[in-house]
Structures are given as structure tokens and as C-alpha cells.
Amino acid sequence: MKSIAVYCGSSSGFSRVYREQAAATGKFLASKGIDLIFGGGKVGLMGALADAAMEAGGKVTGIMPRFLKTREVAHDRLSELIIVENMHQRKALIYEKSDGFMALPGGYGTLDELFEMLTWGQLGLHPKPVGLLNMDGFFDHILASLDHMVQEGFLHEINRKMVLCSHQVEKLLELMHAYEAPTVPKWL
């Protein structure tokens, strides 16, 4: 993979582990020569991720809608900052520029982007890997909910397996490199 989109919070959360691991992720991606595509903010986990990737010599592209430029405080030291008109353009451009998608802790926006890429993959619209960096068990409840969806007949097991997960960025990247998209004619 040449580029990975990383979805994460514009907040740092309460545990310092999140910020530390976001920075370690940015540094690791840069060390592997993987371009970082992200939301373009300089605050929270987004800022820690981008700053570390830039400091490690990585290429970092931020994509931000005009109305969020002041709210998320646009990062001014990126390789490239692309300003688009709306969230739909942001998500579409992040999708186009990325070979895979990784989620770190975040809120509604992070989950929205994560689940959109999973849905598109389930529908066969892309074969790209989608992974969760499960820092300090942050995504455990979501993973349990996905398992419950399978148990209750709302999600096919082969599509549940699309969600790659590790608490180590190195392992998650290995899983993403080895990923093969499911080929099923109907998702349920």
C-alpha cells in the first residue's frame, strides 16, 4: 500500500495512550514510506498523527471541507492541504487517494467514515482493507456489537471478517497488506 487514510478524533480523549499511539502510528507509517491521508486538522489525535508523520519525513495530505477549516483548526504544516466544499467531497477524495483505511479512537465522524468504507466494501464497490487500531481496547464494544449483528442475522460472517483489528499498528498493517476482499453475490 502506498497510502492509508486514517480516521481519528479531533479531540485527544481522556487517556494519554490515545495521543501517544496516534503519534506512534504517524511515525510508523512514515517509516514504511506510506503516505498519510487524513481529515486535515491540527488538533486532537489528528494533529498528533500528522505532526509525527511529518516529523518522521512522511508525506501527509489533509482533506477538509471549507466549513470545518476553523472548527477543526486546519493544519498549516502538511505536505498538502486540500479544501473541498462539503463532507461528501471530503469522504470521496479520501477514498480516491487511499489504498486502505484505518480507524483510531474518535467520535461520530470517525465511525461515519469507517462504516461508510465497510459498507462500500460489503457492496463490492471497493476491495480495499479497513482496519481498527484497537488502542487500549477502545473498539472492544463496537467489535462485540458487530458479533451481535452476526448472531442476530443482520451481518454475514464473511462481511464481519472484513473488519481487520489489532492493538499494534505493525500487526494491523500486516493484516491490511494480506487482505483479500470477500466475493459474495449478496451480503445476506
Position 23 in a domain: yes
> Which range of residues forms the domain containing residue 117?
3-178
pLDDT (tens place) for every residue of the chain, 188 residues total? 999 999 999 999 999 999 999 999 999 999 999 999 999 999 999 999 999 999 999 999 999 999 887 676 888 889 999 999 999 999 999 999 999 999 999 999 999 999 999 999 999 999 999 999 999 999 999 999 999 999 999 999 999 999 999 999 999 999 999 999 988 665 55
At 12, which CATH number? 3.40.50.450
> Whole-prediction pTM value?
0.94
Position 187 in a domain: no
DSSP code per residue over the chain: --EEEEE--SS--S-HHHHHHHHHHHHHHHHTTPEEEE--BSSHHHHHHHHHHHHTT--EEEEEEGGGTTTTTB-SSSSEEEEESSHHHHHHHHHHH-SEEEE-S--HHHHHHHHHHHHHHHTTS----EEEE-GGGTTHHHHHHHHHHHHTTSS-HHHHTTEEEESSHHHHHHHHHH------SS--
Phi, psi of 94 (to 5 degrees): -60, -45
Please give the radius of gyration of the chain, using alpha carbons only, rounded to the nearest integer.
16
The C-alpha atoms of residue 182 and residue 159 are separated, in whole angstroms, by 7
Position 185 in a domain: no
Position 25 in a domain: yes
Position 186 in a domain: no
One-letter amino acid of 36: L
- If one counts the domains in the chain, the total is 1
35 touches 61 (CB < 8 A):
yes
Position 101 in a domain: yes
Position 184 in a domain: no
Position 73 in a domain: yes
C-alpha cell at 81: 492541504
CA angle 93, 98, 100 (to 5 degrees): 135
Q: What pLDDT is attached to residue 93?
A: 97
Alpha carbon distance, N-terminus to C-terminus of the chain? 30
Considering only CA atoms, which of 111, 105, 137, 108 is closest in space to residue 25?
A: 105
